Structure 1
Amino acid sequence: MDMTTVSDSGLLDTLQHEVAVFARRAEQTRLGGVGQVRNSMDRAAYLLLNRLDKEGPMGVKALAASMGIDSSTVTRQVAPLVDTGLVKRTSHPEDGRAVVLQLSPRGLSRLEEVRSSRRQLMAELTQDWEPAERETFCALLTRFNSALSARMAVPPGTDTPPAS
């Protein structure tokens, strides 16, 4: 079903183009921040470390589910973080056979360094914005990302997300 009308197709063309440009530029710069920290942590590592910081230690399956990705992807992405000491593997407190991933003190320090650099970059990019414009942009970008997540949850061959 085509949800566009003649009046908004031009706006939607502009939107899809600007999203494509944003995605390319974000990947080129990795929105890595400023100074020596710039481009120093890839997107997957940042998102995994950030999730472990926000939600605490968890198993691979729980981490994958909370990020909306496959367990094998998490396992592959976590391996270098463990190798470099940013993430620790520990035994589950209730089931010693299960592995729990936990942000290490070094990982937290590194994450804070990258967050600070990225925060500085966001401040520079939006320095001439009013606070209300920043809030609106954040709210709309969050809403857009939520819609993308919901769309990705749609089973192939259907048009609508599953009922929640």
Structure 2
Amino acid sequence: MPIPPSEITTDLLERLQHEVALFARRAEQTRLGGVGKARNSMDRAAYLLLHRLDNEGPMGVKALAEGMGIDSSTVTRQVAPLVDSGLVKRTSHPEDGRAVVLALSPRGRSRLEEVRSSRQRLMEVVTEDWTPEERESFTDLLGRFNSALAQYHSSVTQGDEQNS
């Protein structure tokens, strides 16, 4: 059951925002390599795009943007270097030849697996003294936090569009 806002202390909110800020900085450091090999680094945008294409299969720019909560021009800009490096391939939509479909290439899948393995190993090392239940609980809470942030940003964006 949620705690009424009047019972949430300013001190607790200060600690929470500070821990989130530290987490964001550490998460950015994590993208620089995972465990063991600097070659396993990948920027956050590339990782998230490749991960989504791997999980959901080929899709258009608009669907990819909507699913990630960003605009199509941002996806187009982020995908360009992935196409240039051969990690993502552009193909024509089977039903509408004018539409572009993005798909993870075999090279992209291989690269994603390298990075994923390295990052999974890092998570294993960092939480090695945690119980399975603590790992599960932290993962659930972090997922809930991310969902709440996404929902908040979505409602703010929709409110901005309605006020325009």
Aligned residues: 156
Which structure shows the higher helix fraction? 2
Q: Deviations over 1:113-145 (max 9, x none)?
A: 100000000000000000000000000000000
2 CA distance for matches of 1:17 and 1:97? 48
Give the aligned partner of residue 100 of structure 2.
99
Equivalent residues of 1:33, 1:118 under 8 A apart: yes
More displaced stretch, 86-95 vs 6-15: 6-15
In structure 1, how many angstroms separate the alpha carbons of the residues matched to 2:28 and 2:157? 27
Tell me the TM-score normalized by structure 2. 0.89
TM-score with structure 1 setting the length: 0.89
Matched, 1:121 2:129: no
What are the equivalent positions in structure 2 for 1:1-164 lying under 5 Å apart?
4-5=5-6, 8-30=9-31, 32-37=33-38, 40-155=41-156
Inter-partner Cα distance in structure 2 for 1:102 and 1:36 = 26
Give the fraction of aligned pairs with identical amino acids, expressed as a percent: 73
Q: Secondary structure at the match of 1:128?
A: coil
Q: Judge conservation of contact 1:37–1:113 (CA < 8 Å) in 2.
A: no
Contact 1:38 1:117 in 2 (8 A): no
Give the gaps of 5 or more residues in structure 1.
Answer: 159-164
Q: Deviations over 1:8-60 (max 9, x none)?
A: 22211111110011111211332631111466200000000000000000000
Equivalent residue for 1:161? none
Letter of the structure 2 residue corresponding to residue 115 of structure 1 = R
CA distance in 1, matches of 2:57, 2:152: 27
Kept after mapping to 2: 8 A contact 1:59/1:99:
yes
Offset of residue 155 of structure 1: 3.5
RMSD of aligned alpha carbons: 1.8
Q: Aligned partner of 2:69: which letter? A: G
Structure 2 gaps, min length 5: 160-164
SS of the aligned residue for 2:37 comes to: helix
